[in-house]
Structure 1
Amino acid sequence: MRVLKFGGTSVGSVANINQVISIVSKAAENQKIAVVVSALGGITDLLMQCGIEASKKEEYASIFEKVERKHLDFITTLVKDDAEALAEIQNLLNDLKSLLQGIFLINELSPKTVDKLLAYGEILSSTIIVRAMYAQGLDATRKDSRDLITTNDKYTKAGVNYKVTNSQLKYYFSKATQKITVLPGFIASCASGETTTLGRGGSDFTAAIVGAALNVEQVEIYTDVSGMYTANPKLVKQAKPIDTISYHEAMELSHFGAKVLYPPTIVPVMSKNIPIRIKSTLNPEEPGTLIQNQVGINENPIRGLSNINNVALLTLEGGGMVGIPGISKRLFETLSNQGINIILITQASSEHSICLGVMEEDAGKAKLAIDEEFEYEISLNKIDPLTMEIGLSIIALVGDQMKSHQGISGKMFSTLGKNNVNIRAIAQGASEKNISAVIAQKDVKKALNSLHERFFEAQRKQLNLFITGVGNVGERLLKQIEQQQDYLKKQLNINMRVLGLSNSRKMLIDENGIDLSNWKALLEEGTPVTLDSFHSAVVELNQRNSIFVDITANADVAAMYGKYLKQSIAVVACNKIACSSDYDKYNELKHLSKTYNAPLLFETNVGAGLPIIDTLNNLIASGDRVKRIQAVLSGSLNFVFNKFKSGDSFYDVVQAAKAEGYTEPDPRIDLSGVDVARKILILARESGLKINLEDITNDPFLTQNNLESTDVPHFFETLKEDAAHFEKLVADAEAKNHRLKYVAQLDNGKASVGLQSVPEGHPFYDLKGSDNIVLFFTERYPEQPMQIKGAGAGGDVTASGLFADIIRTATF
């Protein structure tokens, strides 16, 4: 004997019902089959809606017409030219209509009437399905579950009388001769014969009751997915089916929102050690999930993640609770009397407060009842009025083997913390099979994805990028990301996605990832942008491992870093303004980065793609101390002075540098020395010094005329006007066989920048093109400095430096 149950989605269309019949026909080839069916997909909700509208004396006919039309369409399609079948369904629909008219007339919808009303969903579907089986020549009959399953009279969620029920089921099936018996799920009857139901999702329960009574080898539950998943696949795309799971694990997951199984289903089969297999109606050949008493030892102690939404957190607290017996009893008794189910309980060891999780729909009633129960203590200020928080969810980590693995809760909470998911309450039983946390409902998707990544995805980390500034460097970064995506997945276990782009006019946000082969056209069709609207879009999307990438030289963009860090969003920047601003602002960003566990990385602020800042940080972290720094930090200026020879036009050389992308759009930033001053300032601060930009001595080589230029075109005009000044600079250096280099220095806590004439043999003398060089003189490198040298400007190398920082965030 086999028991097969098919849920609402499995019988939600004519095509699906034909698939059900195909599965049943094959299963019935060698043995008898009991088939438990749910109402057609969506019908139970429509019936409930009809009843509510009717009880309010409001129009319900249009909703009923949807119910009627769906059932008539199904029967006429599945069973063509069968007047008897059509008449049977029409008679049931007429009875349903009469019941709704009665609810309308008496203006009442009691729990007893709710059960009568909702039972029609399963009665109609089972009748349609057995008629369809007749039409296809199967040896099938329909048996009303109300004749076989007896319960108490607690309507809407009745308790089963197993002694009577088991006897009735055994007797009926011992006499049954047909191969296939179709049973409506969810419904039963009490001793007086009135219709009862087993709770929403109770069709699973029906199958388990039948299977346990008949001692079948296995109960098979068919649904729209291939088993229980490690997380809700609608929220976590990387979720995967679970091969085997224990009864207790399945109960925990289903209690905390895994919809493929109704929690009480486990109870009748567990006592008889009868496995349950969850399978997909549409893919019946797939193995699905086997739920059984014991499962093998698994390397991963976590079996799955689940969540319950629309939760309210109730907190009863006050000094008058401490050491007073009976407070908990009164609290729980009050909720029990109101028929309110408690989902989560946690109490401080001080006994000063008790937190309870209940469904939001029950929260208002719970508050009224509890405040009334403790009215006397509240009036004496011994206990505070009950506080209520809504808009919450419970997420749960489930696994039988968690108790034998240390650090599970630490990994869970640190992962949530890194992604700015605030935990309102925590509960863990002594059995350690479940760790539950109450969080804001808006954070559920991010929390589940973060935890799934941490515990199930072989340490593959998904990085979600939001990039501002898509000019020369930005375009090259996007090209590098597109080119390297497969490598990152295969070699570094990193899935890098660009979810947001913005320029000065438009922004583009796509939760599923932007197509990098077509990003320019997509951005052009984007929405108008402001810095605040882009930030709001990033925060609202609420993705795990989010990274804001600033590829601008804009002070207003730099001013936004703090807002991102406070949301635990990492910041990667080539914009030097933030880290070279007032020291207190720089220090605040560093503090926010640590407080919110959000990386702040700006390697490209100094030396583009060269590992200058990282090397300096490693020296200091290892206990070394910087004594002196000498550096050529401007690829732009090095390019300019390597090109500039006596007799050349300084104007032409600077124009060439600008055209090749070696300078900022405004070359005055480079040539005035401000850019280099910012770089040595950043190195000084990373060395541990508290200095500001105005503390750096800047000896300009530009003329006053150049420095006072009003805009970029005017600046270039002044370069022509003052050509003799620049000719003299280079001629004087060449006369001594020197070369001009723009040098930054840090010595004994004092920093300076300026043009120097460097003799042959000096480390800077042969510095080519746009290369940078840094000499670190430290306690460990006092005479022969640590030297870093290489390309220090250009779109590709700057983009690669940003890319490296982005990848580095994955290690935090």
Structure 2
Amino acid sequence: MKVLKFGGTSVGSAKNINKVISILENYSKSDSIICTVSAVGGITDKLLLAGKYAQNKDKQFKDVLESIEETHFNIVNELIPNNNDAVMAFVGSRLDELKSLLEGIFLINELSPKTSDKLVSFGELLSSYIIAETMKSRDLSADRKNSQDLIVTNSNFTKAEVDFAITNKNIQDYFAAVVQRITIIPGFVSKSALGEITTLGRGGSDFTAAIVAAALKVDQLEIWTDVSGMYTTNPKQVKQAYPIKEISYQEAMELSHFGAKVLYPPTVQPVLDLNIPIHIKNTMAPEESGTIISNNEEKTNAPVKGISNIDDIALITLQGSGMVGIPGFSKRLFETLSQEKINIILITQASSEHSICIGIDEKDVEMAKASIDTVFENEIALNKIDPLITESGLSIIALVGDNMKNHQGISGKMFSTLGRNNINIRAIAQGASEKNISAVISKKDVKKALNTLHEQFFEIKTKQLNVFITGVGNVGQKLVEQIKQQNKYLKENLKINIRVAGLSNSRKMIFNESGLDLSNWQEQLEKGQTASLQGFFENARDLNLRNSIFVDVTANYDVANLYAQYLRESIGVVACNKIACSSDFENYKLLKRLSLKYNAPYLFETNVGAGLPIIDTLNNLIASGDKVKSIHAVLSGSLNFVFNNFDDTTKFYDIVKQAGAEGYTEPDPRIDLSGVDVARKILILARESGMQLNLEDIENTPFLSQAGVDSDSVDDFYQTLIADEAHYQALFASAKANKSQLKYVATLNNGKASVGLQEIPEGHPFYNLKGSDNIVMFYTERYPEQPMIIKGAGAGADVTASGLFADIIRIGNN
């Protein structure tokens, strides 16, 4: 004999009831079946709502009643389309009784617990009758037995206590004589020894099934619901969550207490006492294996079985120096809460005895504060203890697992994982059994916490990065293409999963917390919302995704000014925008401090050499104890391109135009040709070397004509290049006469930095620098004579994008 229970969602529609009947028919081929059913999904809530309206003399109860009637009649017509007069008549008569009851409540303006039990019992009584009659109409060997004739309770209405001696005998006697293969019984409902209608309280249908299973000592109790078992964590919050195949009673109860709604532990006590396994199955996917809950001693090596959470928590803290060493404070605190019927969810107390911290339901916090302040009024007045401190807007997250006690470092791994994502922990509780480690955090961080912990404890060590990119012009497009192209490789080889969660250009922006589809992101962006720099930041902040990274692919001052906001929200920053790192020294240091304080990486490799690892190499030298003596570098790919292509057979204007068209210069070429861009780069290297310099400290010797320097616009600037061609030809002629090449050089030496155009003689490492290549020579204590040289392409969309990509990967590998 098998005992199955189907919940409200499973019998929530004619379509789902047909699935239930199919499951029962299949089972009945090999065994006798007892099936406990809940009310049709949502009906119990509607019954309670109708009762509340009626009690308050609100005629809206009639509208709710009409909805209840419509739901049941529609289900009957769908399940038994022909010859259903008798069934419709029975359902109609029960609904008439319900109507009379509600009208009575309306007239006397009262809804007692006894009447409430009678009211809500209609749900299960109707659903069980309809399902049984449907099966009969299909010539299945089925019948209905009213569980009110079997389960006997006391008269504690709304949560009646079962008389197991009488109940067990009733169940055993009845099922010893049944002839039908399938017996449908209503869950939740019962009767007192006096014959009064009672109900079994929260999770009553599970309780009914457990009572029957225990009375008959069946091999297993199956609870069918709308999910495929108990999950590693909430699948609505964590898409990677998956069903747990086997779990112990204790683990299941811990997870259920902390928010896993599949099971309400008190209701399965009868089967737990007899070690009868519980199998959680999915009505919508009966072929899936589900979860088996048992006391099977075979344990997996996995220390953590699940992660759960409870929302809407408040912390109350009783503290004061007068508590130390004085017995009785805890007793008085707990008694006060008990008298107010306030449930304590979490307790933590330091060994100093200076404070006691308790987690309760947020709705109870005002009552708790008022009552505790009253009880401790005298001690508060004497300044022995402080008035009760309360904090709301919190949640509890919990790691659960029987085997955690056998593994060192679980709590450390949990807290460090949360800390890396700047999830602040307000309180911690862990019992000596080590089956549960609980932490109180802000409610807004729950999704990030669950995803972060699930990634740490349940997934193949693949680190998910959520990237928000501002500036999808030439370089930005290349970056998106590279991420799309390399995604599979990164997952398989580096265990990094990069999701682009937000994109923006100057007009539009789009977001998707699950990751944008990169196959048609341009079309998505065109249909996006109006772009806003502050709005982009607020979306990234509010999504609150783990390992979030903001990527700035602009040259915009306003974007750079937002870096501090991103870092304070623990959102890493990757930038090719040089403005922030070359801004006032105090701002540069502030961003560095924020990066450390909020554990948010701040990387800007492309500030200096596009895709070349210049900053990374410099940082590694310094971190290993080396000291920089001087730096000599050609740091402008655009200027190197210009002077490598300019000679006495070309026009300077034409070469600058070509550099812009090929993406080597900024849209405003004055940024490159004025030397400001190179000055910023050497400033950044100086700062990364430990020097406190500002941009005005960099000596910048311009090579542009005075008219070019003074030009008011890009168009005016281009006109000066045409007008002053002789000036630029003279620069080339001088270099040619000296058998030299023109190179724009940045130098850092003895704490001083300069940039300017130089004539480089043959034999110098800079002489044969071709195209848009950059070169940097580091002279250090370890490289005093022969410098460390980094050389390669220093401009262009592809290499700049690859530099940004490399910084993102560095974060993923950290």
* TM-score bracket relative to the smaller structure: over 0.9
Change beyond 3 A, Cα 1:426–1:73: same
Q: Choose the corresponding residue for 2:184, options 182, 190, 195.
A: 182
Change beyond 3 A, Cα 1:705–1:299: farther
Q: Give the whole-Å Cα distance in 1 for the aligned partners of 2:26 and 2:330.
A: 55
Q: Give the whole-Å Cα distance in 1 for the aligned partners of 2:434 and 2:234.
A: 22
Change beyond 3 A, Cα 1:559–1:640: same
Cα shift at 1:750: 1.6
Contact 2:231 2:244 survives alignment (8 Å): yes
**Could you tell me which residue of structure 1 aligns to residue 728 of structure 2?**
726
**Could you tell me which residue of structure 2 aligns to residue 343 of structure 1?**
345
**Could you tell me which residue of structure 2 aligns to residue 775 of structure 1?**
777
Change beyond 3 A, Cα 1:299–1:723: farther
Contact 1:202 1:262 survives alignment (8 Å): no
Q: Give the whole-Å Cα distance in 2 for the aligned partners of 1:338 and 1:418.
A: 40
Cα shift at 1:792: 0.4
Q: Give the whole-Å Cα distance in 1 for the aligned partners of 2:159 and 2:87.
A: 31
Q: Choose the corresponding residue for 2:87, options 85, 88, 98.
A: 85
Q: Give the whole-Å Cα distance in 1 for the aligned partners of 2:157 and 2:306.
A: 33
Which digits, 9 at most, give the CA deviation of each residue in 1:244-276, with x for residues without a partner?
Answer: 111111111111111111222442222221111
Structure 2 residue 46 is the aligned partner of structure 1 residue 23: no
Deviates further, 615-624 or 573-582: 615-624
Question: Which amino acid is 2:66 matched to?
Answer: E
Task: Give the secondary structure class of the aligned counterpart of 1:777.
Answer: strand
Q: Choose the corresponding residue for 1:740, options 736, 739, 742.
A: 742
Q: Give the whole-Å Cα distance in 1 for the aligned partners of 2:290 and 2:280.
A: 5
Task: Give the secondary structure class of the aligned counterpart of 1:60.
Answer: helix
Q: Give the whole-Å Cα distance in 2 for the aligned partners of 1:382 and 1:654.
A: 78
Q: Choose the corresponding residue for 1:393, options 376, 392, 395.
A: 395
Task: Give the secondary structure class of the aligned counterpart of 1:306.
Answer: strand
Deviates further, 752-761 or 366-375: 366-375
Q: Choose the corresponding residue for 2:482, options 480, 483, 491.
A: 480
**Could you tell me which residue of structure 2 aligns to residue 57 of structure 1?**
57
TM-score by length of 2: 0.97
Deviates further, 332-341 or 544-553: 332-341
Change beyond 3 A, Cα 1:615–1:400: same
Contact 1:247 1:266 survives alignment (8 Å): no
Q: Give the whole-Å Cα distance in 2 for the aligned partners of 1:4 and 1:334.
A: 42
Structure 2 residue 73 is the aligned partner of structure 1 residue 72: yes
Deviates further, 801-810 or 563-572: 801-810
Q: Give the whole-Å Cα distance in 2 for the aligned partners of 1:175 and 1:314.
A: 57
Cα shift at 1:805: 0.9
1:181-580 to 2 correspondence within 5 Å? 181-294=183-296, 296-580=298-582
Change beyond 3 A, Cα 1:339–1:92: farther
Q: Give the whole-Å Cα distance in 1 for the aligned partners of 2:151 and 2:384.
A: 50
Cα shift at 1:298: 2.8
Task: Give the secondary structure class of the aligned counterpart of 2:582.
Answer: coil
Q: Give the whole-Å Cα distance in 2 for the aligned partners of 1:323 and 1:118.
A: 51
Contact 1:251 1:266 survives alignment (8 Å): no
TM-score by length of 1: 0.97
Question: Which runs of no fewer than 5 residues in structure 2 stay unpaired?
Answer: none
Cα shift at 1:295: 5.3
Percent identity over the alignment is 66
Which digits, 9 at most, give the CA deviation of each residue in 1:191-245, with x for residues without a partner?
Answer: 4333333333221222222212211111111111111111111111111111111
Cα shift at 1:515: 2.5
Q: Choose the corresponding residue for 2:116, options 78, 90, 114.
A: 114
Cα shift at 1:67: 1.1
Task: Give the secondary structure class of the aligned counterpart of 2:78.
Answer: helix
1:747-766 to 2 correspondence within 5 Å? 747-766=749-768
Change beyond 3 A, Cα 1:154–1:435: farther
Q: Choose the corresponding residue for 1:805, options 802, 807, 813.
A: 807
Question: Which amino acid is 2:49 matched to?
Answer: Q
Cα shift at 1:314: 2.4
**Could you tell me which residue of structure 2 aligns to residue 672 of structure 1?**
674
Which digits, 9 at most, give the CA deviation of each residue in 1:472-521, with x for residues without a partner?
Answer: 11111111122222222222222222121122222222223222222223
Change beyond 3 A, Cα 1:156–1:412: farther
1:562-641 to 2 correspondence within 5 Å? 562-641=564-643
Cα shift at 1:643: 0.5
Cα shift at 1:417: 2.2
Cα shift at 1:152: 4.2
Which digits, 9 at most, give the CA deviation of each residue in 1:410-469, with x for residues without a partner?
Answer: 222222222232222221111111111222222222211111111111111221111111
Which digits, 9 at most, give the CA deviation of each residue in 1:572-604, with x for residues without a partner?
Answer: 100001011111111110110010000001010
Change beyond 3 A, Cα 1:804–1:299: farther
Q: Give the whole-Å Cα distance in 1 for the aligned partners of 2:288 and 2:512.
A: 33
Question: Which amino acid is 2:506 matched to?
Answer: S
Change beyond 3 A, Cα 1:300–1:28: same
Cα shift at 1:725: 1.6
Question: Which amino acid is 1:72 matched to?
Answer: F
Q: Give the whole-Å Cα distance in 1 for the aligned partners of 2:812 and 2:773.
A: 29
Over the residues paired in the alignment, what is the CA RMSD in angstroms? 1.8
Q: Choose the corresponding residue for 1:706, options 686, 705, 708.
A: 708
Contact 2:314 2:391 survives alignment (8 Å): yes
Question: Which amino acid is 1:43 matched to?
Answer: I
Question: Which amino acid is 1:278 matched to?
Answer: I
Task: Give the secondary structure class of the aligned counterpart of 1:490.
Answer: helix
Change beyond 3 A, Cα 1:792–1:446: same
Cα shift at 1:149: 2.6
Change beyond 3 A, Cα 1:703–1:461: same
Q: Give the whole-Å Cα distance in 2 for the aligned partners of 1:448 and 1:330.
A: 36
Contact 2:513 2:543 survives alignment (8 Å): yes
Question: Which amino acid is 2:251 matched to?
Answer: E
**Could you tell me which residue of structure 2 aligns to residue 2 of structure 1?**
2
